[in-house]
Chain A
Amino acid sequence: MARFGMAIDTVRCVGCMDCVVACKTENSVPEGFNRDWITTEVTGTFPTTHLEIRSERCNHCDDPPCVSCCPTGASHVHDLGAVVLVDADKCIGCKGCVASCPYGARFIHPDGYADKCTFCIHRVEQGLLPACVAVCPTHCMHFGDLDDPNSDVSTLLASRRHHVLLPDAGTKPRIYYLT
């Protein structure tokens, strides 16, 4: 079974927010909410500071607490690519999954159910790339099967230095940031 993930090149990313706009348009994300966002992190002490710009979203974790805490099974791991999804018709809006995500990746849709990035599964099923990946003008985002050693993401991860967010939280995130 495939295991979809992303490798995002922080060296190329300029924080233009095209991915954010593409996601909002593609998925009709309601006003005031975002499924993906840009984080700018500056570390170090002047003059040796370091800037990292990241396009962030749900990490589609391998060990997702949002799925294991869901009392109705609305949050689930999809057969295609082990993508973490929410079935709105099963969700009671208890917000347990929102509390359980260390990344703040989920929110409650104005219609009452938990919502978040789906890796644009509706596009991926048709052989297309997620909207954010497809639209990125610097081509810094790469999407594919982490279990396929020949995939774009796997070869990049094999050849480039990378990190994930909050590794100590133990959720085994599948969005990798190339540095």
Chain B
Amino acid sequence: MQELTITRHNALIDPLLSIWSWQIPVYLFLGGLVAGIMIISGYFVLQGQYKKNVFSCFYLPHIALVLLSGGMGALFLDLEHKLYFWRLFTTFQVTAPMSWGSWLLMIVYPALWVNTLIRIPERYQGKVPIFDRWSAALNARPVLIKNIGIANMLLGTLLGMYTGVLLSSFGARPLWNSAMLWMLFLVSGLSAAAAFVHLITTDEYERELLAKADNAFLTLELFVFGGFITGLLTNSRVHKDAVHLLLDGPFAPYFWVLVIGMGVLLPLAIQLLAVNHKIKHTALAPLLVLAGGLALRFVIVFAGQFSRWS
């Protein structure tokens, strides 16, 4: 028998840690989605698709800027000492992933913005003449455009990894303390981005391509889930206890039904039928992938806070 009685009852700490609410899962989801969008749009730029009338190269960087700002807004809402947020940018703390992330975002913004200049959508052309001039200057330098594509892919990968590294660096929370978490969030971000483009594109080629890519990402995600779970199950007792929160504990219904069932398996099945021309492409599969990606962040952030050393 072990019976603990503690006189402490600090808000948001006791009886179980609950410091992070909806803002952090939303921030991590949007960060992962933007990361995936940067990789996809960078890839299209690299492929020279920007020369054609293809949707992704036209609007994806613009949409990513809006989504990223939404994510940053959610993060800002979570801060308890909001007026001091500028302190993030007066220092660089080499051991703090959050510090790396803040500075990474400061590079991501200009990279996305330069990406928007490669092809200014027709209806915005002539509105800000200097942007048109910069766009023309960029288009006169194809090698530079390729490098912008590469930079977007690279920064997108780092951003996607960061969303996982941020959590896995907290050794005190055994569920997050997995070397697979960055991979899980990166693949999930790619899958969500592929689903997003699939959902909004008007181009048949892109829809087909992204649906196939998403099937690959979803399959890969299942393997990464396997690695994440076995890694924790074969670790110390606290890590085992932590992963049981998802497998058969209080978070199991959300994890199995929302994340795995409706977020991965069902859309994968639908999209496999669609790419094999058994059924038509519909919005259902990509919507499920996006909802599953969001549910994943919620489940991991909430269950992770519940996991602890004791």
Query: Quick check: A93 and B7 within 8 Å, CB to CB?
Result: no
B146 within 8 Å of A by Cβ?
no
**Across-interface contacts of B308 in A (CB, < 8 A):** 102
> Is chain B's interface secondary structure helix, strand, loop, or mixed overall?
loop
Within 8 A of A (CB), among B1-31: 1-14, 17, 19-20
The interface-forming segment of B94-102, B125-133, B219-227, B255-263 is B94-102
The interface-forming segment of A29-37, A139-147, A149-157 is A29-37
Taking CB as reference atom, which chain B residue is nearest A36?
B8
* With A89-B84, A92-B79, A92-B84 as contacts: A100 and B102 at CB distance below 8 Å: no
**Across-interface contacts of B8 in A (CB, < 8 A):** 34, 37, 56, 104
Query: Quick check: B95 and A69 within 8 Å, CB to CB?
Result: yes
The interface-forming segment of A1-9, A119-127, A128-136, A164-172 is A164-172
Q: How far is the CA of A98 from the CA of B17 in the complex (A)?
A: 9
* With A45-B1, A71-B99, A72-B88 as contacts: A94 and B14 at CB distance below 8 Å: no
**Across-interface contacts of A96 in B (CB, < 8 A):** 96, 98, 170
Query: Quick check: B172 and A70 within 8 Å, CB to CB?
Result: no
* With A43-B2, A99-B170, A113-B81 as contacts: A92 and B87 at CB distance below 8 Å: yes
Taking CB as reference atom, which chain A residue is nearest B87?
A72
Against A, the Cβ 8 Å flags (1 = close, 0 = not) of B117-146 are 000000000000000000000000000000
**Across-interface contacts of B91 in A (CB, < 8 A):** 71-73
Query: Quick check: A34 and B7 within 8 Å, CB to CB?
Result: yes
Query: Quick check: A71 and B17 within 8 Å, CB to CB?
Result: no
| Chain B residues in the interface with A (C-beta under 8 A) | 1-14, 17, 19-20, 78-82, 84-85, 87-88, 90-91, 93, 95-99, 101-102, 169-173, 236, 238, 305, 308-310
Query: Quick check: B170 and A100 within 8 Å, CB to CB?
Result: yes
Interface centre among B19, B20, B169, by most A CB within 10 Å?
B19
Interface centre among B5, B84, B236, by most A CB within 10 Å?
B84
* With A69-B98, A113-B80 as contacts: A74 and B87 at CB distance below 8 Å: yes
Query: Quick check: B84 and A91 within 8 Å, CB to CB?
Result: yes
* With A37-B6, A99-B172, A107-B12 as contacts: A70 and B93 at CB distance below 8 Å: yes
Query: Quick check: B102 and A71 within 8 Å, CB to CB?
Result: yes
Q: How far is the CA of A92 from the CA of B75 in the complex (A)?
A: 11
Taking CB as reference atom, which chain A residue is nearest B173?
A99
| Chain A residues in the interface with B (C-beta under 8 A) | 17, 20, 32-34, 37-45, 49, 56, 65, 68-74, 88-96, 98-102, 104, 106-108, 111-113, 166, 168-170
Q: How far is the CA of A72 from the CA of B12 in the complex (A)?
A: 22
Query: Quick check: B96 and A95 within 8 Å, CB to CB?
Result: no
Taking CB as reference atom, which chain A residue is nearest B236?
A168
Taking CB as reference atom, which chain B residue is nearest A74?
B87
* With A72-B87, A92-B84 as contacts: A99 and B11 at CB distance below 8 Å: no
* With A71-B99, A99-B305 as contacts: A166 and B310 at CB distance below 8 Å: yes
**Across-interface contacts of B10 in A (CB, < 8 A):** 32-34, 104, 107
Q: How far is the CA of A169 from the CA of B13 in the complex (A)?
A: 18
Taking CB as reference atom, which chain B residue is nearest A101?
B172
**Across-interface contacts of B172 in A (CB, < 8 A):** 65, 99-102, 169
**Across-interface contacts of B305 in A (CB, < 8 A):** 99
Query: Quick check: A104 and B80 within 8 Å, CB to CB?
Result: no
Query: Quick check: B96 and A104 within 8 Å, CB to CB?
Result: no
**Across-interface contacts of A32 in B (CB, < 8 A):** 9-11
